[in-house]
Amino acid sequence: MRFIFKTSYEQDLRLAKHGGHVFWYSLLAVALVAAPWVAPEYWLAQLTFVLIYAIVGLGLMLLAGFTGLFSLGHAAFLGVGAYTQAVLTGMGWPFALSLACAAGLSAAVGVVVGLPALRVKGIYLGMATLSFGFIVEEVFARWESVTGGNSGKHLVPPQIAGYSFESTESFYFLCLVIAVVSTLAILNLLRSPTGRAFVAIRDSEISAQSMGIHLARYKTLSFSISAALAGIGGALYAHKLQFISPDQFNILQSIDLLLMIVIGGLGSVHGAFLGAIFLISMPQLISLSKDWLPTAIGQAPGLQAVVYGVVLIAFVLFEPMGLYGRWLKVRTWLQMFPFYRKGLFKRQKSFQKSDRLK
Amino acid sequence: MQFVQLLISGISQGCIYGLIALGFVLIYKATETVSFAQGELMMLGAFCGLALMTVLGFPFWAAVLASILAMGLFGVVLERAVIRPILGQPAFSIVMLTIGIGYVLRGLVTMIPNIGTETHTLPVPYKDLSFRLGALVLNAEQLVVIAATALLCVLLFALFRYSKLGIAMQASSQNQLAAYYMGIPVQRLNGLAWGLAAAVAAVAGLLLAPITFVHANMGLIGLKAFPAAVVGGFGSLPGAIVGGLVIGIVESLSGFYLPDGFKDTAAYIVVLIMLMVKPNGLFGEKLRKKV
């Protein structure tokens, strides 16, 4: 077991807490950079999707996991980013500029959605974001002069200074760079006063307010940052698929995004990545397992929904901290080996605690 | 005349939304959880009725009663098995849990070979009946929906007003701890609330089935019932029905008088306006904040 004695505030704020962090994350970075030379093209494409979903997941994690506001219409932000990117690059704008516009426009829309969040909480906020998601989806389908309606819209591969990111490898690197930058941005945000204010709002709004945190400002800020990341993710998603249509940004996609961060582990940056890996690998795992199952079950169309549902239920019931929580437990067990107690991570019983008066 | 015709179809559609919303409110009042599986419970109720009628050959009324009872029982079991262990955890995880339940139910129904993926018609005795009233054409299906909803409302009102059980449920929904100290079996009542909600959902499913069809995805209509519950004020039983009617009527009128696309989003536009103007809904209770 490793003990870290903190002797200064700088030490407390450092991104890498000890040498182990430096070593393992460098190893991960090397592996990710080397992936195009090692992994087959199909795997690389899946890895690109993982990175894109992780970018969106980081945003949603900031909103749901760290600020405690949950959004049931996050796919709409994804869509705003994707369509902005499609329209602007279609008009011949450079990639970086249109990406910035996609992020900016999503953030602006996020502020608009964040405004009702100032008045309503919990399930009412869920309803507001859900309604917003439905309306935006309908706008995508109806505003044909811009979005192409239900027949969708094609995109060209991104270009930076004349270089076209057409190949799987080059686009992978582009996504990797953006993912790393956004992860660092989120990590830095979280250790800044703003990030701490978000966590304070999540833990108790009234206490946060009495400590001088401007609730309205920070809630809208959280919404806009989250929406901006979703917009960036949406833009990359659009480039990756090279074709977008309104039904890619519907309520089921929003629920998938929520499912991703819950299974990854709410309230942890690792969780966004683990959740993205889960979300992308799950369909593959299910189709692999089809050969082992009896045909009646394996070929049934509802199998995927059942597996998703059962996994979600199991996580909420038995592992509310998600995949990252499971990893923490395994690590603690290894570190403490003969002395691990069973009830170490036990949840407090909070039966009959009322949420209604919050 | 056209307006009245639209109004009636709006009311009958609104009754369905109201019934599903009633399920949300029952569960919310009892356990402070929001069930996203309500639409799927409705779908399951419709399938249950269908199976009883076509496979087991029950007569119509027996099938209706049996499927309502079966769904009620299912609700109780569901609460005991999945919901109870997690009560008191943050609302977010319970929402995810019920979304998971919805996925599983939808997936399981789809997995039934040759039945789950197709659309079915529920054989009801009042199919294709219609009455003429001047220039008005009244479908029997719509009238049955309205009548059944009214009857159910009266029954629920009587339950909560006059029976010991209903009064105990009201008490525990107002203050669980105090009710518990007064000797009310709060946990058992929570289970009953889920059972009641599932039974109401089954009624909604059986009423909706002749109007649309029985299909594994018919539960998605539950997403339209959320606006109904919010407009009425989450946590108010009469509010749920009123909210349902408002949403149904607005939807029906906007489908006719406004351009395409407004029909599907009308409910959500109404809910956004409602949240801005009166976040507690029409009948919502105002509660004081405590630290």
Tens of pLDDT, residues B197-210: 999 999 998 888 88
**Average confidence (pLDDT) over A84-110:** 89
Q: Is the pLDDT of residue A349 over 70?
A: no
pLDDT of residue A249: 87
User: Pairing mode, if any, of strands B130-133 and B136-139?
Assistant: antiparallel
Which among A210, A295, A313 is the top mutation candidate for probing chain B, defined by the most B β-carbons within 10 Å of its own β-carbon?
Answer: A313
Q: Is the pLDDT of residue B256 over 50?
A: yes
Find the CB nearest A119 among B111, B279, B288. Answer: B279
What is the tens place of the pLDDT at every residue in B158-195? Answer: 988 899 988 998 888 887 788 888 888 888 888 899 99
pLDDT of residue A235: 92
Distances (CA, A) of B179 to A232, B107, B149: 51, 38, 30
Tell which B residues from 22 to 61 touch A, by Cβ distance under 8 Å.
28, 32, 34
Q: Is the pLDDT of residue A250 over 90?
A: no
d(CA A15, CA A18): 9
* Count of C-beta atoms within a 10 Å radius of residue A3: 5
pLDDT of residue A347: 65
pLDDT of residue A183: 93
Find the CB nearest A135 among B89, B91, B265. Answer: B265
Residue B133 has φ and ψ, to the nearest 5°, of: -135, 90
Residue B127 has φ and ψ, to the nearest 5°, of: -65, 140
C-alpha dihedral sign at B212, B213, B214, B216: negative
> Percent of chain B at pLDDT above 70?
97
Q: Is the pLDDT of residue A145 over 90?
A: no
Contact A82, A64 (CB under 8 A): no
B82: closest CA of chain A, how far (Å):
8
Tokens linked to A93:
């704008």
pLDDT of residue A352: 46
d(CA B271, CA B93): 24
Query: Is B289 close to A358, i.e. CB distance below 8 A?
Result: yes
Confidence of residue A107 (pLDDT cuts 50, 70, 90): very high
Confidence of residue A225 (pLDDT cuts 50, 70, 90): very high
Q: Is B176 on the interface with A (CB under 8 A)?
A: yes
Least confident of B11-15, B148-152, B243-247, B285-289: B285-289
pLDDT of residue A357: 45
What is the tens place of the pLDDT at every residue in A160-173? Answer: 776 777 788 888 99
What is the tens place of the pLDDT at every residue in B24-82? Answer: 888 888 877 788 888 899 999 998 888 888 888 888 888 889 999 999 999 999 988 88
Query: Is A128 close to B272, i.e. CB distance below 8 A?
Result: yes
Q: Residue A198: CB partners within 8 Å, gap ≥ 6?
A: A62, A66, A67, A190, A218, A222
What is the tens place of the pLDDT at every residue in B70-126? Answer: 999 999 999 888 888 887 777 778 888 898 999 899 888 888 777 777 788 877 777
DSSP B209: T
